[in-house]
């Protein structure tokens, strides 16, 4: 004679199912705290995204500093992944790291980077406007980037105008600090980018808009950069200091353009620029000092 199977009470089944759902939800929340993708703007059919790295223990309602990265690529290419490691580093140190996807100049267009600069301002405005949900202090947002991305970070912070017409102009797109890796921030005659912007260079060139309202900055450059002479960096530093604004600089001997992406050939471009940027943010009080080994 076969034994009669015992029926599991319906209430116990429901409780078990709820527990499974709760566990799955907790797992998703844990994953979201490590990284998140947000749409900050729609441009036609395109959805432009922010890739957010959140620190351990992050929660909505925190007021953490943030660092927003713009990739380089001459305004015509590139990927937000360029600054993935830097963003992850600062997230592990307690900041919210954010990498921006922006539109590049369409193929065949020889004109100024209108879409790039508009998107840069839109992205920073989104971050500031959504600071509460992102766990960010809206008064401690660093704008960062390399090459053309360094231009965009500096542009959004220093240069008025060329906003997206859909932006809420009451929200500031300005970074509260600048972290710039071989930025093309002088687009004047004879400098990189002038071929695109022409006589309108003053509308685009951050180096032509330094005032006492500029935030503290750190700028990295190689002395073998074939796009940005060291004299351009020295001129920018002088303008910042005359305006009474802190501007830390570091020139890497033998380093060419884009050196900050890696450590190679005796030039620790990635590791040392990251360490210096970390120390800069420590000095602003945005990060705790690292313990001495």
pLDDT digits (tens, 9 = 90+) for 244-283: 999 999 999 999 999 999 998 889 999 999 999 999 999 9
| Per-residue DSSP letter, 57 | T
Sheet of 46-53, strands arranged across: 35-43, 46-53, 96-100, 64-70, 136-146, 177-181, 217-222, 247-252
pLDDT of residue 11 exceeding 90, the answer is: no
Task: Report residue 10's pLDDT band, with 50, 70 and 90 as the boundaries.
Answer: very low
246: region left, alpha or beta (phi > 0 left; psi from -120 to 50 alpha): beta
Tokens matching residue 179: 């972290």
Please give the mean pLDDT across all residues of the chain: 90
The ranges assigned to domains in the chain are 39-283
The residue with greater pLDDT, 150 or 15, is 150
Q: What's the pLDDT at 29?
A: 33
- Is 228 a residue whose pLDDT tops 70? yes
Give the pLDDT of residue 35: 83
Whether the CA torsion 129, 46, 159, 182 is positive or negative: it is positive
Mean pLDDT of 8-33: 41
Q: Average pLDDT for residues 132-158, to the nearest whole number? A: 98
In this structure, which topology does domain 39-283 adopt according to CATH? Rossmann fold (3.40.50)
**What digits encode the pLDDT tens for the residues 83-96?**
999 999 999 999 99
pLDDT of 101 strictly over 70: yes
For residue 202, the SS3 value is: helix
Which pLDDT does position 290 carry in this prediction? 79
CA gap 188, 201 in Å, rounded: 6
Residue in 197, 187, 186, 184 with CA at minimum distance from that of residue 225: 184
Rg (CA), the chain: 23
6: pLDDT strictly greater than 70: no
pLDDT of residue 291: 58
Contact of 212 with 160, CB cutoff 8 Å: no
Question: Within a 10 A sphere around the Cβ of 42, how many other Cβ atoms?
Answer: 10
- Residue 85: both structure tokens together: 């490691």
The whole-number average pLDDT for the span 13-36 is: 45
b/e code 245-256 from CB counts within 10 Å (16+ = b): bbbbbeebeebb
pLDDT: is 65 or 14 the higher one?
65
Strands 217-222 and 247-252: parallel
Helix 84-92 and helix 269-283: axis angle, to 10°? 40
Go through the chain and tell me how many residues it has. Answer: 293
The pLDDT of residue 24 is above 70: no
153's tokens: 């970070």
What average pLDDT does this structure show over 220-229?
A: 97
Pull the structure tokens for residue 160. Answer: 């008025």
How large is the average pLDDT for residues 144-150? 98
Beta bridge partners of 236: none
Query: 10 versus 287: which is more confidently predicted?
Result: 287
Range with the poorest average pLDDT among 31-40, 103-112, 185-194: 31-40
The confidence score (pLDDT) of residue 34 equals 61
What is the C-alpha to C-alpha distance for residues 262 and 269, in angstroms, rounded to an integer? 6
């Amino acid at each position: 004679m076969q034994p009669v199977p015992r029926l599991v009470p319906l209430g116990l089944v429901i409780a078990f199912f709820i527990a499974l759902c709760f566990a799955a939800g907790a797992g998703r929340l844990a994953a979201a705290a490590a990284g998140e993708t947000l749409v900050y703007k729609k441009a036609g059919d395109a959805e432009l995204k922010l890739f957010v790295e959140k620190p351990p223990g992050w929660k909505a309602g925190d007021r953490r500093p943030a660092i927003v990265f713009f990739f380089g690529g001459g305004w015509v290419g590139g990927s937000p992944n360029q600054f993935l490691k830097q963003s992850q580093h600062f997230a592990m140190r307690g900041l919210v790291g954010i990498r921006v996807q922006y539109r590049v100049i369409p193929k065949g267009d020889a004109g100024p980077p209108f879409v790039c600069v508009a998107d840069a301002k839109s992205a920073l405005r989104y971050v500031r406007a959504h600071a509460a949900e992102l766990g960010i202090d809206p008064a401690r947002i660093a704008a960062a980037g390399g090459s053309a991305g360094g231009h965009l970070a500096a542009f959004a912070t220093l240069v008025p105008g060329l906003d997206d017409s859909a932006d809420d102009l009451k929200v500031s797109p300005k970074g509260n600090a600048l972290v710039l890796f071989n930025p093309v921030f002088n687009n004047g005659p004879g400098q990189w980018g002038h071929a695109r912007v022409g006589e309108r260079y003053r509308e685009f060139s951050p180096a032509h808009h330094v005032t006492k309202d500029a935030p503290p900055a750190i700028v990295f450059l190689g002395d073998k950069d074939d796009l940005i002479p060291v004299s351009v960096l020295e001129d920018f530093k002088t303008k910042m200091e005359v305006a009474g604004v802190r501007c830390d600089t570091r020139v890497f001997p033998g380093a060419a353009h884009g050196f900050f992406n890696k450590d190679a050939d005796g030039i620790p471009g990635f590791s040392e620029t990251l360490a210096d940027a970390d120390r800069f943010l420590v000095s602003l009080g945005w990060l705790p000092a690292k313990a001495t080994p």
